């Protein structure tokens, strides 16, 4: 079922169940980004400047990912870490096949079913989210519960994605569906538009 109100997307979807293989080139990726474990964000960050130091975001996301997996008893394998880092490389969404291509360029051949299994594990831990409208994935850059009432904001110009807390939106959806007797199974809200930086850039060229 796909409902598309205005510029947003509310969808119900299923995730493929597949198998995973193990990798060994994570150290090179860590060196490439100078990644170390660090503290966790406790709020929803706004769109960062496009020239920001993304290592800070990556450090925070990696530290939170390792801590979350330890808390939940999820095995943190070398291949899972490499896939997570590739997803978290920027604030832009990537598809499973984008990940396969990146891994192949590093000499690692990973089957699509293995990539989807890893993404499923990362999603279940709340470390990666799916951008339903593009069938792509982005790293969670905010420390929140998996059941948090968030919406996804997608910039049409720079292609970056962030989450924003929107409990009122979910309450409105719940009220509307209850009035019709409709039972919600899953709610996803995606909003397409312009981040502040891209909006200002467009305004300056007018």
pTM of the model: 0.75
Three-state SS letters, the chain? CEECCCCEEEECCCCCCCCCCCCCCHHHHHHHHCCCCCCCCCCCCCCCCCCCCHHHHHHHHHHHHHHHHHHHCCCCCHHHHHHHHHHCCCCCCECHHHHHHHHHHCCCCCCHHHHHHHHHHHHHCCCEEEEHHHCEEEECCCCCCCCCCEEEEEECCCCCEEEEECHHHHHHHHHHHHHHCCCCCCCCCEEEECCHHHHHHHHHHC
| pLDDT digits (tens), the chain, 206 positions | 333 333 344 333 333 333 333 333 333 333 333 333 333 334 577 888 888 889 999 999 999 999 999 999 999 999 999 999 999 999 999 999 999 999 999 898 999 999 999 999 999 999 999 999 999 999 998 877 766 789 999 999 999 999 999 999 999 999 999 989 999 998 889 999 999 999 999 999 87
Architecture field, domain 2-11+18-205: Orthogonal Bundle (1.10)
């Amino acid at each position: 079922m796909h409902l598309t109100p205005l510029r947003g997307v509310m969808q119900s979807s299923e995730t493929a169940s597949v198998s995973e293989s193990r990798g060994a080139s994570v150290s090179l990726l860590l060196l490439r980004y100078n990644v170390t474990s660090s503290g966790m964000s406790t709020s929803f960050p706004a769109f960062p400047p496009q020239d920001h130091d993304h290592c800070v975001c990556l450090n925070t996301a990696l530290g939170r990912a390792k801590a979350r997996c330890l808390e939940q008893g999820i095995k943190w394998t070398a291949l899972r870490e490499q896939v997570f880092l590739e997803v978290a490389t920027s604030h832009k969404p990537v598809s499973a096949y984008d990940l396969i291509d990146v891994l192949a360029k590093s000499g690692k051949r990973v089957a699509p079913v293995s990539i989807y299994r890893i993404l499923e594990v990362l999603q279940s831990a709340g470390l990666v989210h799916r951008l339903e409208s593009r069938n792509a994935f982005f790293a969670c850059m905010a420390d929140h519960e998996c059941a948090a009432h968030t919406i996804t904001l997608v910039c049409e110009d720079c292609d970056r994605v962030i989450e924003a807390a929107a409990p009122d939106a979910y309450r409105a959806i719940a009220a509307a569906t209850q009035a019709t007797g409709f039972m919600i199974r899953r709610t996803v809200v995606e909003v397409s538009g312009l981040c502040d930086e891209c909006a200002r850039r467009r305004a300056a060229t007018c």
